[in-house]
């Protein structure tokens, strides 16, 4: 199989099977379902863009999920709070619900955009590493099952 096609298939499978990268601390179970659904949808859109030559990265919804759980774990500094509100504003607008005026953040500084881009690249690396490790683990388990089920060679003596 063509390596490019294999990567595209792997990326497409990852849209639905990759883990959701969140901040450690146990707040992942409080993540709203609509954000989880948005993650899948945005991952699918990102995969289509990657197939047309765009750089692969995590999505705004994935960044929002991570920052949501991070905000519940510890206070954020001003830059990260602005980034979080900016991403939330974008997600709410895509959902058709405008963000409240007192927390609406329509733009961020270049520095903050760089921080957000770094976070998205980091999230993407984490989820693809998890997919690769999961694949290696499945292959090891399958090999062990095959080896255990294989008939033993008969030692024929002459």
Q: What is the pLDDT of residue 12?
A: 85
Would you say 67 and 30 are in contact if contact means Cβ atoms under 8 Å apart?
no
47's CB contacts (< 8 A; 6+ apart) are 8, 11, 12, 14, 15
Q: What is the pLDDT of residue 105?
A: 95
Q: What is the pLDDT of residue 131?
A: 87
How far is it, in rounded angstroms, from Cα 41 to Cα 92?
14
Predicted model pTM? 0.81
pLDDT mean by block of 10 residues, the chain; 158 residues: 78 89 90 94 94 93 97 95 97 92 96 98 94 75 67 59
How far is it, in rounded angstroms, from Cα 120 to Cα 79?
16
Q: What is the pLDDT of residue 45?
A: 95
Q: What is the pLDDT of residue 6?
A: 79
């Amino acid at each position: 199989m063509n390596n490019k096609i294999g990567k595209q298939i792997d990326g497409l499978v990852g849209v639905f099977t990759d883990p959701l990268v969140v901040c450690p601390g146990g707040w992942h179970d409080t993540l709203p379902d609509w954000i989880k659904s948005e993650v899948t949808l945005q991952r699918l859109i990102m995969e289509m863009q990657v197939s047309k030559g765009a750089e692969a990265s995590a999505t705004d919804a994935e960044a929002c999920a991570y920052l949501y759980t991070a905000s519940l774990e510890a206070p954020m500094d001003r830059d990260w709070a602005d980034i979080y509100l900016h991403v939330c504003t974008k997600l709410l607008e895509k959902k058709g619900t405008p963000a409240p005026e007192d927390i609406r953040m329509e733009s961020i500084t270049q520095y903050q955009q760089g921080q957000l881009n770094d976070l998205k690249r980091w999230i993407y690396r984490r989820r693809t590493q998890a997919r690769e490790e999961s694949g290696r683990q499945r292959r090891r388990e399958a090999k062990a099952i095959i080896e255990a089920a294989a008939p033993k060679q008969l030692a024929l003596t002459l």
